[in-house]
Amino acid sequence: MNIINNVRQLRSWSSINRGTRCVFVPTMGALHEGHAALIRAARELAGQSGNVVVSIFVNPLQFGPNEDFSKYPRTLVEDLAICRDNGADAIFAPKADDLYLPDRSIQLFETSLSKTLCGASRPGHFDGVCTVVAKLFNLVQCDEAVFGKKDYQQLAIIRRMVRDLDFNIVIHGIDTVREADGLAMSSRNRYLSADERAQAPVLRAALLKAREAYIKGGERDGKVLRQMILDQIAAEAPLGRVDYVEVVDASTLQTPTETTELVAIAVAVFFGSARLIDNIELK
């Protein structure tokens, strides 16, 4: 497994491997089984003759002034072991000043899909995501890339960016990996106290109940579905503070219409300092 620390080394590696199928897994490190599943999916897509590249980079552009950039867990040694054990061929782990020059003046801006859900409460976050992912796509020169569906809005935005900027890259969404009690695996779960951790699985339980009401009960009123989830969180997770619960068109992330092909519900709830997100597709 190659460990690449700067842009010059990555360009050299990409040049040597040009013509070999490349599948990319961008991460911010603090890897867990959810990330391992992404790497394994990339390995399967790449086959034995292709390359799997994983980036480990805590991107400062996607953190707001009052968010947890400085506290975000950095566990590079453990991350490298997970990458190696799950089939990665190369790791790109640059420093911020290698990706972002002091006098940089160009950045990407997303103007539609980022205005709802997490983007509404984290202004500028997805501009930072788009900027770093576009840079990484250009540097890695991948053919395909995998993203987790847990970050549902991010996946939709990356797909839109690839479409709008004509990246010749296939984007794959991988199902969320969960703990035994249904809680979506996340690097931020480590911030939860014992009591908060005990209440956090209500997010998944409430989403499943709403999906049952949609599929088996025929409930199509988004306001009713939303209130069902809010009521269950209030009853079973008093330590939770709801950021949002929204029923959206899976493609546009706006309110579903008669032409909507797939409906999704997305939630974000604070437990102490940890902001947990989850979602479910209603199909």
Which residues on adjacent β-strands are paired with residue 271? 240, 274
DSSP-based three-state secondary structure for 83: helix
Structure tokens at 11: 């360009």
Max Cα–Cα distance, the chain, nearest Å? 57
Cα–Cα distance, 64 to 171 (Å, whole number): 27
Q: Which residues contact 185 (CB under 8 A, 6 or more apart)?
A: 32, 33, 34, 150, 176, 177, 178, 179
Secondary structure element (H or E) that encloses residue 266, with its range: strand 263-271
Residue 35 is among the residues annotated as catalytic for this protein: yes
CB-based burial label for 167 (10 Å; 0-12, 13-18, 19+): middle
SS3 content of the chain, % helix, strand, coil (to 5): 40, 20, 40
Q: 32, 35, 125, 172: which one is catalytic?
A: 35
Write out the catalytic residue numbers: 35
